[in-house]
């Protein structure tokens, strides 16, 4: 899988692109949903996704990698092994026993941690991980993601000090899948209209869980 178009088609064929009237996070409805969790069952696609993210990471100075739980964890693990970069893991919930740690793995104050994410919509999931990492004394300024759904999350993250670099924007991906005959012109149109109407300009809906700059 040398080209991005080949990767887009491989993701589609692996079942990572779902079309229809789908219920997403917080009861929102969407005509397109990306399920990157399926990639664990397709090792060649996993390697290709990790390699593309590694390319994006080459110019970003970092000491550690951290995947946003859960979908990005295996992707970050493959990148960690391929590049010999230590990884840390954020827990979704704090343990109620033992060490009560939020982060697993070894890290030191002020180390630079690059965040790995599968999909950005509002930016909320990624920001949640960033807040935990920063609260533990890590320096977090960048994230690499597989897909930017172009719904405002990347700008929201920028306002909070995070630069996002993605393998695909939704526009790129739709174009590649349309050219490959996987998605019709009509479906592309429906998705484009939905994305225009469903934009996020802040993370107010989850402000009780986040310590934001704004
Ligand atoms: O098509 C999609 C859209 C979202 N996700 C999951 O949700 C978060 C991203 O949404 P935010 O609003 O930016 O938090 C991400 O962690 C994905 O796992 C998805 O899988 N597919």
Q: Which residues contact 18 (CB under 8 A, 6 or more apart)?
A: 32, 33, 34, 35
Question: How does the average pLDDT of the chain come out, rounded?
Answer: 93
Residue 143 CA, ligand 1 centroid: distance in Å: 14
Closest by CA to 197, choosing from 30, 72, 12, is 30
Q: Scan for tokens 């590649």, then name that residue.
A: 176
pLDDT for res 98: 63
Ligand 1 centroid – CA 36 distance (Å): 10
Give nearest CA residue, ligand 1 atom 17.
119
CATH code at 4-211: 3.40.50.2020
Give distance in angstroms: CA of 213 to centre of ligand 1: 22
pLDDT in tens, 98-110: 667 889 999 999 9
Where exactly are the structural domains of the chain?
A: 4-211
Please write the tens of the pLDDT for every residue from 76-85.
999 999 999 9
Q: Write down the pTM of the prediction.
A: 0.94
Q: What is the pLDDT of residue 148?
A: 98
* Residues in the chain with pLDDT values less than 70: 94-99, 208-209, 211-214
Determine if ligand 1 sits within 6 Å of the CB of residue 71.
yes
Show the tokens assigned to 100: 């009560």
**Does ipTM come in above 0.90?**
yes
CA of residue 98 to ligand 1 center, whole Å: 31
User: Ligand 1, closest atom to CA 35?
Assistant: 20
Q: What is the pLDDT of residues 141-180, one digit of tens each?
A: 999 999 999 999 999 999 999 999 999 999 999 999 999 9
Task: Find out whether the beta carbon of 122 lies less than 6 Å from any atom of ligand 1.
Answer: yes
| Closest ligand 1 atom number to CA of residue 33 | 1
d(CA 41, CA 47) in angstroms, rounded, equals 11
Burial code (b: 16+ CB inside 10 Å, e: under 16) for 182-193 equals bbeeebbeebee
């Amino acid at each position: 899988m040398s080209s991005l178009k080949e990767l887009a088609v491989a993701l589609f064929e692996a079942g990572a692109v779902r079309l229809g009237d789908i219920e997403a996070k917080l009861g929102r409805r969407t005509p397109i949903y990306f399920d990157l969790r399926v990639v664990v069952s397709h090792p060649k696609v996993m390697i290709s996704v990790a390699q593309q993210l590694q390319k994006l990471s080459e110019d970003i100075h970092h000491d550690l990698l951290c995947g946003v739980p859960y979908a990005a964890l295996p992707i970050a693990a493959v990148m960690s092994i391929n590049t010999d970069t230590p990884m840390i893991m954020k827990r979704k919930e704090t343990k109620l026993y033992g060490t009560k740690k939020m982060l697993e793995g070894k890290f030191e104050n002020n180390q630079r941690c690059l965040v790995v994410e599968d999909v950005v919509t509002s930016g909320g999931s990624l920001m949640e991980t960033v807040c935990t990492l920063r609260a533990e004394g890590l320096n977090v300024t960048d994230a690499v993601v597989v897909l930017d759904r172009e719904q405002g999350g990347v700008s929201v993250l920028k306002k909070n000090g995070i630069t996002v670099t993605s393998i695909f924007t939704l526009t790129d991906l739709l174009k590649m899948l349309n050219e490959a005959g996987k998605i019709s012109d009509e479906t592309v149109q429906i998705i484009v209209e939905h994305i225009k109407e469903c934009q996020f300009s802040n993370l107010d809906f989850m402000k009780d869980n986040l310590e934001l700059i704004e």
